[in-house]
Amino acid sequence: MRIKEILLEYNLQSLLSLFSEKYKQVQQKDHSNEYESLEQFIKSIEEPLRKENKFQFIEPYMKWIVQRYVTNNLGLYEDMKIKVIPGLLKYDSLKRKNKLKSNHKDINRIKNINQLLDILDEYENEKTTSKSEEEKKIEQEFYSSGEAELIFNNHEIKVVIPKTERASCYFGINTRWCTATTHSTNYFNNYNKKGPLYIVLIKKENKRYQFHFATNQFRDEKDLQIDANSLADRYPILWEIFTPIAEKYKSLILNKNPSEETMLNEVRKNGLAISYIKNPSEKVKLEAVMQNSLAIKYIENPSEKLQLIAIKRNPDSLQYIKNPSEIIQYEAIKLDPRVIKYIKNPSEELQLMVVSKFDEAIKNIKNPTEKVQLLAISRSISNIEHIDNPTEKVQMKVINQNPLYFRYIKTPTEKVKLEAVKRNGLNIQYIHNPSEEIKYEAVKQNGSSIQFIEEPSEYLQRIAIKQNVLNIQYIKNPNKKIQIEAVRQNSSIIRYIINPAKEVQLMAVKKDGLSISNIMNPDEEVQLEAVKQNAFAILHIENPTEKVQFEAIKRNPMIIKFIENPSEKIQLYTVKRNGLNIKYIENPTEKVQLAALKQNKDAIKYIKNPSKAVIDFFENN
């Protein structure tokens, strides 16, 4: 015993040294933890374990408890007795009995209390002395102390009324109820003031439910509202337990034989509560619909009087009336034309009435007649978007009114397609697999529509080009004839032709030498023709050959200033034609300078830093 105490004391000092500072920070935020020092905290946990004679349990798990608590992985201190200690007792019992899986045996691999509880759920069928004894003892203490009341218990079901927040947390463990939370504000007292909470445990399913008649809330473990009556149908004992309680609260839920007074009381508060009533009286039906017109949904074969009341209060309730009469349909539509969408096969008279009142009403009518479609289009051409199968007459009316709305016509006829492109060729983009006639009419109306035609014929291409030469930019891979025809009209058009033929390139630069700027990698022949037409075309030629340079300078000597590092041969050619051209040459050689002076002595004024030989020549000649 003394050895264990020494070991514990050593471990205690180690824990205090490692975690005291972090503990203070967490403790200040934990309203349920009154222990200011880590040592007091540890002793408070050790105390219940000593009572259970679990001394051997303390050492291996105390570090786990402390380390998880200071890193906010155990919840609040109040969770210790409810979750942590019972959970670790069960875990230890399973471990000592060698019932844990290999990946569960190391406690340090378990990161938080939720993971621990999830692991223990896998061993739910394993009986451990620790669990049964501990849970029975804790539960009995709640009953004995008056913190909870057990009102029913058999092999299937247990029903408990928690009287304190602590009891609510215990019996509501592993739920999302705000009355059982230990991680945020707990609202048990708020509910308890209004009326008792009933916690129902279905044993074989190990599921919990919480009922609160005062606020009409019946929730599952995830805090979702449930159909408690359906649950009672599965477990009929719940009818017996809760019918008297439900009648007391004038509730229809879990009330097997509600009085008419209870029915009326409930539907006056919430008309939809009629969904819980079997065979309601006419009076109850009337009150339900008066409170909420949508209650008509839950009334079988409602009278015409009830239907009218529901419609007048909310026209949308028409959707819940099966086979409404013409009168009911008419009254609903008078109030809101859009509710026609709830009527199967409405008469043409009703359709016309709706469309005449509400511009977009057509979208709420399935299979409108042609007369109705025409009226809708007359009111707003945009209504064509909402007509699934417009007749050809309706389609033609749209095209005649505004051909731009062709795109919104679903399944247009061939006649309509043809008319659409005749009025606006660009409409061809909305036609799948157009006929040759449609293609022709589209390009004829607007040559640029050729961009939406796959592999247009040469004939169509000619029509497009003839209409506007710029349309060649919309033709993929035009043949040589089309290219020539286009460039013949406008040489700059070559910019829109990818990989133009050699013949086309020559034609373009002969018309305008500067068009070479739109030709990628022109050969020498094309370059020569370009500079012959316009010497300045050389500005657009990358690395022109000496031959091309000669041709450009022949036509305009000043071009030499735009030639990078011209050869001495080029320089000499330039100054021999006119000595004054030396002014366009940077750093001319002595030979070039002398040649310039021979042609024109005035060239001296353009020679920077002339050599002695150049000066002598100038002075002696």
Q: Are residues 289 and 236 in the same domain?
A: no
Average pLDDT over residues 422-442: 95
Q: How confident is the model at residue 1 (pLDDT cuts 50, 70, 90)?
A: very low
- Find the range with the poorest average confidence among 71-85, 395-409, 529-543: 71-85
Residue 515 lies in a domain: no
User: Looking at residue 563, what is its pLDDT?
Assistant: 87
User: Looking at residue 57, what is its pLDDT?
Assistant: 53
Q: Are residues 186 and 282 in the same domain?
A: no
Residue 486 lies in a domain: no
pLDDT averaged over every residue in the chain: 89
DSSP character at residue 124: T
Given 257, 285, 312, the domain boundary residue is: 257
User: Looking at residue 122, what is its pLDDT?
Assistant: 85
Among 64, 55, 53, 67, CA closest to 87: 64
Specify the number of domains making up the chain. 3
Q: Are strands 217-219 and 157-162 parallel, antiparallel or unpaired?
A: unpaired
Q: What angle do CA 307, 309, 310 make, to 5 degrees?
A: 65
Among 148, 145, 166, CA closest to 158: 148
Residue 323 lies in a domain: yes
Q: Give dist(CA 40, CA 56) in Å, integer.
A: 20
Residue 6 lies in a domain: yes
- 367 neighbors 391 (Cβ within 8 angstroms): no
What tens digit of pLDDT does each residue of 293-347 get? Answer: 999 999 999 999 999 999 999 999 999 999 899 899 999 999 998 899 999 889 9
Q: Are residues 47 and 116 in the same domain?
A: yes
Range of the domain at 210: 146-257
User: Looking at residue 2, what is its pLDDT?
Assistant: 40
Looking up tokens 């731009």, which residue turns up? 404
SS3 string, 232-265, reads HHHCCHHHHHHHHHHHHCCCCCCCCCCCHHHHHH
Q: Give dist(CA 621, CA 309) in Å, integer.
A: 124
Q: Which distant-in-sequence residues (6+ apart) come within 8 Å of 445 by Cβ? A: 421, 422, 423, 424, 425
User: Looking at residue 9, what is its pLDDT?
Assistant: 44
- 81 neighbors 48 (Cβ within 8 angstroms): yes
Given 68, 100, 128, the domain boundary residue is: 128
User: Looking at residue 4, what is its pLDDT?
Assistant: 43
Average pLDDT over residues 341-357: 90
DSSP character at residue 569: H
Q: Are residues 180 and 218 in the same domain?
A: yes
Q: Are residues 78 and 177 in the same domain?
A: no
Note every long-range contact of 132-140, with CB atoms under 8 Å and residues 24 or more positions apart, other chains counting: 134/52, 134/86, 134/89, 134/90, 135/86, 138/81, 138/86, 138/170, 139/170
Q: Are residues 70 and 112 in the same domain?
A: yes
Q: Are residues 70 and 184 in the same domain?
A: no
Name the pTM for this structure: 0.51
User: Looking at residue 619, what is its pLDDT?
Assistant: 84
User: Looking at residue 5, what is its pLDDT?
Assistant: 43
Torsions phi, psi for 366 (to 5 deg) = -85, 130
Alpha-carbon distance values, 115 to 101, 102, 120, 251 (Å): 15, 16, 9, 40
Q: Are residues 238 and 300 in the same domain?
A: no
Given 257, 285, 301, the domain boundary residue is: 257
Alpha-carbon distance values, 448 to 403, 451, 466, 473, 494 (Å): 17, 6, 11, 9, 17
Q: What angle do CA 66, 69, 75 make, to 5 degrees?
A: 150
Q: Are residues 1 and 103 in the same domain?
A: yes
Angle between helices 2-29 and 38-51 (to 10 degrees): 120
Q: Are residues 210 and 247 in the same domain?
A: yes
Q: Are residues 159 and 70 in the same domain?
A: no
Residue 235 lies in a domain: yes
* Structural tokens at position 378: 């007359």
Q: How confident is the model at residue 172 (pLDDT cuts 50, 70, 90)?
A: very high
Q: Give dist(CA 598, CA 595) in Å, integer.
A: 5
Q: How confident is the model at residue 79 (pLDDT cuts 50, 70, 90)?
A: confident
Average pLDDT over residues 219-241: 94
- Find the range with the poorest average confidence among 52-56, 201-205, 289-293: 52-56
